[in-house]
């Protein structure tokens, strides 16, 4: 037979074990939540850096008048701000191709016997 003191000890032991398990579960939940929040905050900051870099590149492209050829809003080159039809016909930096004055000459005929030609 179990006396009153042993029953109380068992009940207290169960209560402490149960409390420890629940506190551990709560701690795990909080730890995961803190890690998830830190990850999301980091992602927000990374997005901010990427947007700042994209804006900087867009500003540089605009200053160089770089146009996205795949942009469906641009019907032709004349839609680019700061250009007109005359500019559209010309490239911004025409390339100068060097020419070489040369004469094509047939090579001189070699005096080779038919036997020498077959040995080659």
pLDDT tens for residues 8-61?
A: 999 999 999 999 999 999 999 999 999 999 999 999 999 999 999 999 998 888
Task: Tell me whether residue 81 is in a domain.
Answer: no
Per-residue pLDDT at 10 = 94
Task: Tell me whether residue 73 is in a domain.
Answer: no
Per-residue pLDDT at 2 = 73
Confidence of residue 87 (pLDDT cuts 50, 70, 90): low
Task: Tell me whether residue 26 is in a domain.
Answer: yes
* Domain range enclosing 21: 13-50
Per-residue pLDDT at 62 = 80
Query: What letters, b where the CB count within 10 A reaches 16 and e where it falls short, cover 18-47?
Result: eeeeeeeeeeeeeeeeeeeeeeeeeeeeee
Task: Tell me whether residue 72 is in a domain.
Answer: no
Does 68 or 7 have the greater pLDDT score?
7
Give the global pTM.
0.42
CB-based contact 65:80 (threshold 8 Å):
yes
Please enumerate in sequence order all residues whose Cβ is within 8 A of that of 21, keeping only pairs 6 or more positions apart, or say none. none
Model pLDDT for residues 90-106, shown as the tens digit of each residue: 555 556 666 767 677 77
Per-residue pLDDT at 71 = 66
Task: Tell me whether residue 115 is in a domain.
Answer: no
């Amino acid at each position: 037979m179990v006396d009153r003191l042993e029953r109380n000890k068992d009940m207290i032991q169960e209560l402490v074990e149960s409390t420890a398990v629940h506190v551990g579960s709560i701690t795990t939940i909080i730890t995961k939540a803190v890690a998830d929040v830190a990850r999301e905050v980091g992602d927000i900051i990374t997005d901010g850096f990427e947007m700042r870099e994209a804006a900087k590149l867009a500003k540089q492209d605009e200053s160089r008048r770089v146009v996205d050829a795949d942009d469906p809003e641009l019907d032709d080159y004349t839609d680019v701000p700061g250009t007109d039809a005359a500019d559209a016909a010309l490239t911004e930096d025409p390339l100068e191709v060097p020419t070489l004055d040369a004469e094509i000459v047939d090579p001189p005929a070699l005096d080779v016997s038919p036997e020498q030609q077959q040995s080659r």
